[in-house]
Amino acid sequence: MPKKVHFIAGLSATLTIATFFLSTVIVEFFGSHEAVAALKALIVMPGLFILVPAIAATGASGFVMAKSRKGRLVEAKKRRMPFIAANGLLIMIPCAIFLSRWAAAGAFDATFYAVQALELLVGAVNLTLMGMNIRDGMAMSGRLRANPTMAR
Ligand code: HEM
């Protein structure tokens, strides 16, 4: 059960962030200010209400399964998780709320774009860390063949 929850929650969380990231880049380049404001509002609601429980469920189910696992892969995943959570809670969520409010007010100024750049940067870092956790998780579960140079 925790394994199924972990798989679905982990992939959902990663795909959610990838969707936020790609849709932001596309709408910032090709969309109107109204389209940007609409997307920023959708990222907060329902976006964050999908992402936050998905990340929490991924971390919780991961740590439950990790109790009976040892090795480099599981240790690496454990070490990455606090960074993923802190980036999400302390940077990406406040950025998303700020951007939604600022865009709704039509304030597309330097502050808006600085916060947008920070959100994209931290989003890319989190996508990388989550991708590494998927790779190591799938190597552990046998869905992906482990790198033979890595101790399991
Ligand atoms: C956002 C972070 C994470 C993502 C995206 C993620 C993703 C995944 C995925 C896709 C799998 C493969 C599951 C399967 O093939 O059924 C997996 C397996 C696993 N993950 Fe994570 N994971 C994350 C965080 C964690 C954390 C923090 C831990 C705790 C140390 C953890 C522990 C495990 C374990 C032990 C497995 C192997 C399950 C088995 O025995 O087959 N994961 N993970």
How would you class 38 by CB atoms within 10 Å of its CB: exposed for 0-12, middle for 13-18, buried for 19 or more? middle
Mean pLDDT (the chain, rounded): 95
Phi, psi of 33 (to 5 degrees): -60, -35
- Distance separating alpha carbons of residues 10 and 79, to the nearest angstrom: 16
In this prediction, residue 148 carries a pLDDT of: 58
For the question of whether the overall pTM of this predicted structure is more than 0.75, the answer is: yes
What is the token pair recorded at 42?
Answer: 């959708």
Element containing residue 57 per DSSP (H, E): helix 48-66
Q: How confident is the model at residue 59 (pLDDT cuts 50, 70, 90)?
A: very high
In this prediction, residue 150 carries a pLDDT of: 55
- Distance separating alpha carbons of residues 63 and 43, to the nearest angstrom: 28
Centroid of ligand 1 to alpha carbon of 52 (angstroms): 17
Summarize pLDDT for 15-36 with one digit per residue, the tens: 999 999 999 999 999 999 999 9
In this prediction, residue 134 carries a pLDDT of: 98
Phi, psi of 8 (to 5 degrees): -70, -45
- Distance separating alpha carbons of residues 152 and 107, to the nearest angstrom: 51
| Integer CA distances (angstroms), 13 to 36, 55, 58, in order | 22, 6, 8
**What is the percent of the chain with per-residue pLDDT over 70, rounded to a whole number?**
95
Summarize pLDDT for 97-136 with one digit per residue, the tens: 999 999 999 999 999 999 999 999 999 999 999 999 999 9
Q: How many helices (H) and strands (E) does the chain have?
A: 6, 0
pLDDT over 90 (residue 75): yes
Short-list 135, 112, 103, 122, CA closest to 21: 122
Pocket of ligand 1 (CB under 6 A): 3, 6-7, 10-11, 13-14, 58-59, 62-63, 65-66, 69, 74, 77-78, 81, 84, 130, 133-134, 137-138, 140-141, 143
CB neighbourhood size of 1 (10 A): 7
What is the token pair recorded at 102?
Answer: 């600022």
What is the token pair recorded at 25?
Answer: 């880049």
